Amino acid sequence: MSIECYPITTLPHTTKLFRDFLAMSESGAESQVRGWYGAEPLGRAWMKLPAAVAHAGALADALDRQSVGFGAGPATLANIGKIRSGARAVVTGQQVGLFGGPLLTLLKASTAIARAKQATVATGIEHVPIFWLATEDHDLEEVDQVTLLTKHSVERLSLGARFPHKDVPVGGVRLDVHIDGLLDHASELLGYAPICDLLSECYSHQPGNDSGPTFGSAFARLMTRLFANHGLIVMDAAGRNFHSLGAAAIRSAIEHAEKLEAGLLARSAELEVAGYHAQVLVKPGGSLLFLISDVEGTPGVTTRHALRRTPEGTWKAGIGSAAQSYTSVDLLAILDKTPERLSPNALLRPVFQDTILPTTAYVGGPAEVAYFAQSAVIYELVLGRVTPVLPRLSATLIEPAIGAIMAQHEVSLPDAMRPMDELAQRLGARAMPIEAKRRLAGAGNALDAALVAAQDYLGTLDASLGRSAEVSASKMRYQMGRLRRLAANSELLKEASLRKHAEAMTLHLFPEGHPQERVIAGVWFLAAYEAAHPERTAGSGLVARLVEEAANQCPGHLVIRL
């Protein structure tokens, strides 16, 4: 297992709320943050067992039928049997991105598996891992893309899918004939590794078959197969069976809309006063619900509109003159008759999920952790408890060739988390002859000492003269730094390999100025691992490795060398 665990601040743009959340286990942590989340994210404080759900049998029946359709193996079906017998769950989830989406998808699933094993051992109560598919979202552009690498650049592939109608839930959008050409392109970029065969099995278009793969079903089959040995239960809760099991959460959102809105507005203000920000903007008159309706004249196609409350106490869905009005009684009647037509928003979704599932903890990324600070208000009203949220494994995977370049230049991960030109400058500066480094350092130190002495003296003569000296000194220090950069550039020109090495490290570790886990597809690393370990098949080797690494509970960001 890896021992390279860096502080989470190694990653750029980490929010203060997420940093303070991770610090809850330390003495002196913010008591206010602890109040929002309840349990510390590390250790065992989160293992407070929820009550077993009364509908365990119906839940297991629905999961069993769905998982068979996803191609589940014996380990997954056995875990569903454990749910039937009263097992608890560690849950995670993600959007149904093309070809499995970015690396963080694999990291989430691996963390849920590792934490479920940990909870089973610690409590003596069986825990199973569940992956919740966000198929009811309607951001098609976000899921219709996958990022792979060429030898020298980032390449983003897209199917160019189009909604059959505005605001259709993305999970049900079908993959058309163009998916086969996209699979060929992806296979070429992935070096025709064994994982390509699995992608083709899950995503290939099926001519003449109206029930062919959708964004949701293809993603579900891929994740089910990848994590088959670990018994991951992949769950699409968009249908009537699951919505009926979660109806109590939807009912509360209708009946207690004003109380929930007041609590959420108060929590948003509380977050801002504490120096944080609300992840989800809550406005007066908004709601936690979407209404899903059939599109007239287009069989099998639905559309989703946010429900909003009017000052008169009615509800509206839709835009402008096409908006439809509903009373609370109308919505409750819809819930009783067709519960699948009412869908939770991002803040209600965790509570809806935990009304259906016996969830001990949820595994999320930084944005989801921020959601939970607000969702806690809904948890307390609807469930009378707050489900603990645990951070997913955060990691950078380093391929052997990139690791060799880093070792050659003595570059650590924090060194590489910077723009390519800046990294190249550092490599050039390190490559300068020792004598040149000494002379530049000596000149810089002498200049700095002289400037400090001059500033101090001139400041005693006249305050304005001292300020002018400070400005002039800053310009001289800038020119000294420019001289160092020119010297480093001279080395880069003499050694073209330095810039190429900087480009390679940036491409693989910090693509487009973002952490690798948020950009590069998980299947890219599955293919890379298979190339390095040809005895492994269909990604099983890397998946097992990620589950193992997730068990070590690095409180920050982990480096995993393939």
CA–CA gap between residue 98 and residue 400 (Å, rounded): 27
Same domain, 181 and 89: yes
How many domains, the chain?
2
Please name which of 329, 355, 349 lies closest in space to residue 255, comparing C-alpha atoms.
Answer: 329
Range of the domain at 148: 11-246+346-393
Along the 562 residues of the chain, how does pLDDT read in single tens digits? 567 999 999 999 899 999 989 887 554 445 678 778 877 888 888 998 888 899 999 999 999 999 999 999 999 999 999 999 999 999 999 999 999 999 999 999 999 999 999 999 999 999 999 999 999 887 888 899 999 999 899 999 998 877 666 667 888 888 888 899 999 999 999 999 999 999 999 999 776 656 679 999 999 999 999 999 999 999 999 989 999 999 999 999 999 999 999 999 999 999 999 889 888 888 888 889 999 886 655 555 667 888 998 888 899 987 666 788 999 999 999 999 999 999 999 999 999 999 999 999 999 999 999 999 999 999 999 999 999 999 999 999 999 999 999 998 889 999 999 999 889 888 877 666 676 667 767 777 887 888 888 888 888 888 888 888 888 888 888 887 776 777 666 666 557 778 889 999 999 999 999 999 999 999 999 998 887 776 655 557 899 999 999 998 888 999 999 8
pTM over 0.85: yes
Same domain, 58 and 156: yes
The distance in angstroms from the start CA to the end CA of the chain is 11
Same domain, 388 and 484: no
Sheet of 395-398, strands arranged across: 4-6, 557-561, 395-398
Pairing state between β 342-344 and 289-294 = antiparallel
At which of 514, 535, 556 does a domain end?
514
CB 63 within 8 A of CB 102: no
CA dihedral (397, 417, 280, 390) positive or negative = positive
Same domain, 448 and 377: no
CB 349 within 8 A of CB 280: no
CB 175 within 8 A of CB 215: yes
Same domain, 183 and 239: yes
Quick one: angle between helices 195-203 and 179-189, nearest 10?
170
At which of 393, 427, 455 does a domain end?
393
Given this model, what pLDDT does residue 440 score?
64
Given this model, what pLDDT does residue 298 score?
58
Same domain, 449 and 380: no
At which of 393, 421, 449 does a domain end?
393
Decide if 102 is inside a domain.
yes
Which amino acid, residue 494?
K
Three-class DSSP labels, 99-138: HHCEHHHHHHHHHHHHHHHHHHHHHCCCEEEEEEECCCCC
CA angle at 385 for the pair 379 and 387, rounded to the nearest 5°: 75
Given this model, what pLDDT does residue 163 score?
65
Same domain, 65 and 162: yes
Given this model, what pLDDT does residue 413 score?
95
Helix (H) or strand (E) holding 268: helix 257-273
Decide if 224 is inside a domain.
yes
Same domain, 361 and 505: no
Half-sphere exposure of 123 (CA within 13 A, CB side): 22
Same domain, 367 and 433: no
Same domain, 38 and 153: yes
Which amino acid, residue 25?
S
Same domain, 171 and 121: yes
Residue 149, SS3 per DSSP: strand
Residue 326, SS3 per DSSP: strand
Same domain, 17 and 134: yes
Given this model, what pLDDT does residue 33 score?
83
Decide if 94 is inside a domain.
yes
CA–CA gap between residue 492 and residue 253 (Å, rounded): 61
Decide if 141 is inside a domain.
yes
| Residue-by-residue DSSP string for 495-559 | -HHHHHHHHHHHHHHSGGGS-HHHHSBHHHHHHHHHHH-TT--TTHHHHHHHHHHHTT--SSEEE
Decide if 536 is inside a domain.
no
Given this model, what pLDDT does residue 45 score?
84
Decide if 452 is inside a domain.
yes
Given this model, what pLDDT does residue 69 score?
94
CATH of the domain at 134: 3.40.50
CA distances from 491 to 360, 405, 484 (A): 56, 17, 11
Decide if 228 is inside a domain.
yes
Decide if 559 is inside a domain.
no
